[in-house]
Amino acid sequence: MKNLEGRLEGRVALVTGSGRGIGREIALKLAGDGAAVVVNDLDEGPAAETVAAIEATGGRAVACAGSVTDSGFADRFVETAVETYGGVDIVVNNAGYTWDSVIQKMTDEQWDAILDVHLRAPFRILRAVQPVISRAVRAAREAGEPVPCRKVVNIASVAGLGGNAGQANYAAAKAGLVGLTKTLAKEWGRYNVTVNSVAFGLITTRLTESPADGDGSIDIDGRRIKVGVNPQLLAAAESGIPLGRAGTPAEAAGAVYLLVIPESDYISAQTLVCGGGYTL
């Protein structure tokens, strides 16, 4: 259902990994408040489903399927927004997965794959969008018009802030993403762009749920990656959360939403922890 307030009316948002889970909820949330969304997923089917869900409630969306780690993806993603909607106002780097192992058993392939999706891909997308934002800002200033506040939200993790056993690759990538966030906040302040990150704690998605059939795996570029958390470990993790439970994808999307609405126009270079009160 569309939000009648329409705080994001006229805005164009890029959201990676938005065919499923948290990314889908982010796309629905932004579209529901008026934004036109470029939806991305590794597979065409889930991306098309999110687009259909947005259009069914009167919103605007277009799909750009493919892996964010492909060398030409960033340019294609940004071009889709520019060609379809005329520009870019919001970027949410959300796509990702985990491939865990203790360090002595972690392969170079595991390390590289996780750094690639969680750090290199956001870097490439932000690099590709910079000329679009720069041109738009220059045009506005030359015309004597106000420069709207654009937004970047990078999805980090509490693992990147405090580390997590078995996730050296993921924690390193997310820590790097926080560093990229703070750097671009300084570089892009002159364009009136705020750059923040949201560090999720335990959120219930297909990557954390224990599958009923015990076959918890996903296909990433031809690799079968084990996902899901042992029920006992999941219960132990939830017991350490002050609110006593894992968060939902919709609640995770709400944290991102806080950083893209006008009320957060003077907040930049920050990391918002969305973890139900969990502290490091």
278 is catalytic: no
In whole angstroms, give the CA distance from residue 271 to residue 157: 9
| Tokens coding 111 | 């390390």
Please, what's the b/e burial string for 231-264 (b: 16 or more CB within 10 A of its CB; e: otherwise)?
eeebeebbeebeeeebbebebbbbbbbebbeeeb
In whole angstroms, give the CA distance from residue 280 to residue 271: 14
State which H helix or E strand residue 14 sits in: strand 12-15
**Catalytically annotated residue among 170, 191, 257, 278:** 170
- Of the candidates 28, 46, 13, 1, the residue with the CA atom closest to the CA atom of residue 252: 28
- Of the candidates 50, 136, 139, 42, the residue with the CA atom closest to the CA atom of residue 85: 136
- Of the candidates 207, 189, 68, the residue with the CA atom closest to the CA atom of residue 133: 189
CA 58 to the chain's CA centroid: 23
Looking at the chain, list the stretches that DSSP marks H as alpha helix, in order from N- to C-terminal side: 21-32, 44-56, 73-85, 108-115, 121-142, 158-162, 168-188, 231-239, 249-258
What secondary structure, in 3-state letters, does 19-69 show? CCHHHHHHHHHHHHCCCEEEECCCCHHHHHHHHHHHHHCCCEEEECCCCCC
- Enzyme catalytic residues: 170
